Amino acid sequence: MGGAKIYLCENLKIKQVSLFDFGEFYKRLFSWFEVMDYDFSEKGYEKYDMGGADNLKIYWTSSKMVDNYAKFVIDLNFFLIGMKKVEIERDGLKIKTDKGTIEMRLTAYFEKDPSGKMAKSVGETGRNLYEKFVIRHKMEDYEGHLYEELHLLMDEIKSYLSMHKF
């Protein structure tokens, strides 16, 4: 029955053709969600062999209860196109890494009254009045806090991908 969802972004795209260690990148993002206290799950994983290269589709969803009235949700979808193992030389050392196009899509929103308890006890009108007059500033704070966390995640993604340019 949950409450209304307030979207900050839907399918925000980050795309780059790059050299990167996908295994390390995967672990780093997983760790980010853990550190930020999100409950995390992988909704789907599809791998297609394209004759020497792989295409991957990975779907993640994460959420955390901010308090009894709000829940943050960040969905992250990976699309890896033409990913293959390559060997490069850096500072005289041979390094095995991945090469390909990585595209990530982020959707972030917070859900008001996710359990529906408020709506059940006072109805939709009562819940709307509560949000408009009692916790209006708190609702704005939720949006600002999720916005900050989303940008921290985007910074983590971008810094990792730019850090691994060779």
The 10s digit of each residue's pLDDT in 21-74 is 899 999 999 999 999 999 999 999 999 988 889 999 999 999 999 998 899 999
Q: Hunting for tokens 């041979």 — which residue is that?
A: 94
Query: Phi and psi dihedrals of 88, rounded to 5?
Result: -120, 165
Measured CA to CA, the distance from residue 57 to residue 38 in angstroms comes to 21
pLDDT value at residue 82: 93
Domain boundaries of the chain, sorted by first residue: 5-163
| pTM (2 d.p.) | 0.87
Query: Phi and psi dihedrals of 31, rounded to 5?
Result: -65, -40
Q: Virtual CA dihedral for 13, 155, 88, 92, nearest 10 degrees?
A: 170
Instruction: Tell me the per-residue pLDDT of 7-22, one tens digit each, with 9 for 90 and over.
Output: 999 999 999 988 888 9
What mean pLDDT do residues 70-82 have? Answer: 95
What mean pLDDT do residues 120-140 have? Answer: 85
More confident: 118 or 79: 79
pLDDT value at residue 47: 93
What mean pLDDT do residues 134-145 have? Answer: 90
Measured CA to CA, the distance from residue 112 to residue 5 in angstroms comes to 6
Instruction: Tell me the per-residue pLDDT of 82-119, one tens digit each, with 9 for 90 and over.
Output: 999 988 887 888 888 899 999 999 999 999 888 888 77
- In the chain the beta strands, taken as DSSP E runs, fall at 5-20, 39-49, 54-65, 70-90, 93-112
pLDDT value at residue 33: 96
Asked whether residue 165 carries a pLDDT value surpassing 60, the answer given is no
Task: Return the H-helix or E-strand segment holding 67.
Answer: none
The answer to whether the beta carbons of residues 39 and 61 sit under 8 Å apart is: no
More confident: 132 or 146: 146
pLDDT value at residue 166: 43
What does the block give as tokens for 119? Answer: 């709506």
